[in-house]
Amino acid sequence: MKRKYLCFCLSGCFIWFICCLVLVAVIYIFTPFVQIEGYSMEPNYSDGEVWVLNKFESIERGDVVVFHQPGKVDLIKRVVAIGGDRVEIDKGSVYLNENLIIEPYLAKGSETIGGSFIMNNQKVTVPLGSFLVLGDNRENSLDSRMQQTGFVEGEWIIGELWFRIFP
């Protein structure tokens, strides 16, 4: 009787082990991971953190995404505007469709200043199928304000940060 019970328990544990192994393999194969490098998304996302990406949801304003521009490194930024939106940077703030954006994710006292692509007091319209992205650490971010990044095409987006797995 004890031997049957022991075999039953061991087979149950083995089945659970195999299920967990399959689940980890599926997540690893179908869900990409990303490690944050740099400080452009502080104070919310820190250098060295590892995140799982969700590449199955549509991208919306406020999402934090990873994208790859051809010939450049992957970047992690927050989506501030989507195709068709009108954006202006003025007096240290961002305006979306003539309305001030409230950005609680920015560090207290942080200001947004224009760059080489979107300058202060310049109104721009985001092309359809593209996004305007900004880093949370506006003073230390290579983002859509700069000529090197500009608008991010939808096809460049790898996925949205979903959940942190380390540390």
Residue 157 has pLDDT above 90, yes or no: yes
Question: Measured between alpha carbons, how far is 77 from 58 in angstroms, rounded to an integer?
Answer: 16
At 48-75, the pLDDT tens digits run 999 999 988 899 999 999 999 999 999 9
- Residues annotated as catalytic are 40, 77
Contacts of 65 (CB under 8 A, 6+ apart): 59, 76, 77, 78, 79, 131, 133, 152, 157, 158, 159, 160, 161
- What are the tens digits of pLDDT across the range 12-53? 667 777 877 877 777 667 778 899 999 999 999 999 999 999
- Long-range contacts from 96-101, C-beta under 8 angstroms, 24+ separation: 96/61
More confident site: 76 or 7: 76
Other C-beta atoms closer than 10 Å to the C-beta of 87 total 21
pLDDT one-digit tens code per residue, 96-126: 999 999 999 999 999 999 999 999 999 999 9
Contact at 8 Å (CB) between 134 and 80? yes
pLDDT for the residue numbered 10: 57
Residue 3, judged by CB atoms within 10 A of its CB (0-12, 13-18, 19+), counts as: exposed
**pLDDT for residue 146 is more than 70:** yes
Which pLDDT score, from 0 to 100, does residue 56 have? 86
Question: Which residues are 82's β-sheet partners?
Answer: 131
Predicted confidence (pLDDT) at residue 81 exceeds the cutoff of 90? yes
Q: Quick check: 144 and 151 in contact, CB under 8 A?
A: yes
